Amino acid sequence: MSELAGVSGADPAANYPLNCWYVAADSAEIGAGLLARTLLGRPVVLYRQRSGAVAALDDRCPHRSFPLSQGTVSDDQVVCGYHGMTFAADGRCVRVPSQQNVPYDARVTSFPVREEKPFVWLWLGDPGRAAFADPPALPWLQDERWTTFGETFQVEANYMLLHENALDLTHFPYVHPESSPVGYLKTPPQLQIEVSETSVSYHRDFAPGRLVGWQAETTGLSSDREYAQRESGTFVSPALHVDRMHVFPDGNGSGPYDKILTRAFTPLSTDRTAVFWQVSRNYLTDRPEVSEQLRAVHRRTLHADKRVLEAIQARVGTGPQRAEFNVTADLAALRAHRIVAEMLEQERGHRYLPAGARLRA
Query: Looking only at residues 143 through 202 of this chain, which bind its own copies when binding is defined by CB under 8 A?
Result: 164, 168, 170-171, 173-175, 187-188
The contact mask relative to its own copies for 222-241 (x = CB under 8 A, - = no) is --------------------
The contact mask relative to its own copies for 22-61 (x = CB under 8 A, - = no) is ----------------x--x-x---------------xx-
96 in contact with its own copies (CB under 8 A): yes
Comparing CA positions, the residue from 100, 110, 342 lying closest to residue 237 is 342
98 in contact with its own copies (CB under 8 A): yes
CA–CA separation, 98 and 166 (whole Å): 54
271 in contact with its own copies (CB under 8 A): no
How many residues make contact with its own copies (CB under 8 A)? 56
216 in contact with its own copies (CB under 8 A): no
Q: 212 vs 77, 229, 247, 356, CA distance in Å?
A: 54, 12, 12, 40
The set of residues, in sequence order, having a beta carbon less than 8 Å from that of 29 and lying 6+ positions away, is 35, 120
Segment contacting its own copies by CB under 8 A, of 11-19, 117-125, 146-154, 314-322: 314-322
Contact residue for its own copies among 99, 196, 252, 254 (CB under 8 A): 99
User: In angstroms, how far apart are the furthest CA atoms of the chain?
Assistant: 80
- CB 327 to its own copies: min, Å: 5
Alpha helical stretches, state H, the chain: 127-130, 159-167, 172-175, 213-219, 288-316, 331-348
45 or 290: CB nearest its own copies: 45
92 in contact with its own copies (CB under 8 A): no
DSSP letter at 110? B
- CB 91 to its own copies: min, Å: 12
- CB 320 to its own copies: min, Å: 9
Contact residue for its own copies among 325, 346, 351, 358 (CB under 8 A): 325
82 in contact with its own copies (CB under 8 A): yes
Comparing CA positions, the residue from 350, 272, 343 lying closest to residue 17 is 343
318 in contact with its own copies (CB under 8 A): yes
113 or 309: CB nearest its own copies: 309
Contact residue for its own copies among 240, 316, 339, 357 (CB under 8 A): 316
The set of residues, in sequence order, having a beta carbon less than 8 Å from that of 348 and lying 6+ positions away, is none
DSSP lists the bridge partners of residue 46 as 35, 56
CA–CA separation, 53 and 49 (whole Å): 5
153 or 174: CB nearest its own copies: 174
Comparing CA positions, the residue from 66, 109, 113, 58 lying closest to residue 85 is 66
225 or 307: CB nearest its own copies: 307
- CB 351 to its own copies: min, Å: 23
Strand order in the sheet with 77-79: 72-74, 77-79, 86-87, 93-95
